[in-house]
Amino acid sequence: MLEALLTSSPLPGHSRLLNLADLSSVLGQPDVVVSSDNLGGPLPVAGVTRPIYILSEEDSLQRAKNQGDFSYLHFQPPQTVQDGVLLTLQIRIAQGDPLRPTLGLSGIQVTFHQVGTGWQAAEQIAEFAA
């Protein structure tokens, strides 16, 4: 899902591209930050031309305090659903002022089903804006 979003590619099993309202806030930065929360391991992302950094929520807040507001990607905990796994990815803003909370922006929910040895996205894709 992350690779499809960052490379403007369709999800496995789909022809349409993902469209998140706030994606430009992430892609307009010199690097891409992904929260380490709820990641199961390394993120192999092919075709992305900018650096990708995996930061804890605490490190993201510290970076914002030092460098100012920035957008990052955050996965919610995966949920087991009928014969699949539901993944939710949201764009967030870490704010430079430590008294201001992290803001949630747009996101996407996709259910993946195992097909053979790989995973394929279900037909329904839910995009949301906060």
**Pair 37, 57: CB distance under 8 Å:** yes
Strand partners, 11: none
Mean pLDDT to the nearest integer, 36-65: 87
Q: Which residues contact 69 (CB under 8 A, 6 or more apart)?
A: 93, 94, 95, 96
pTM for the full predicted model: 0.91
- Mean pLDDT along residues 73-83: 93
For the cut 80, the answer to whether the pLDDT of residue 44 exceeds it is no
Answer for the pair 61, 78: CB distance below 8 angstroms, yes or no.
no
How far apart CA 35 and CA 38 sit, in angstroms, is 8
Pull the structure tokens for residue 76. 């919610």
- Contact of 10 with 17, CB cutoff 8 Å: yes
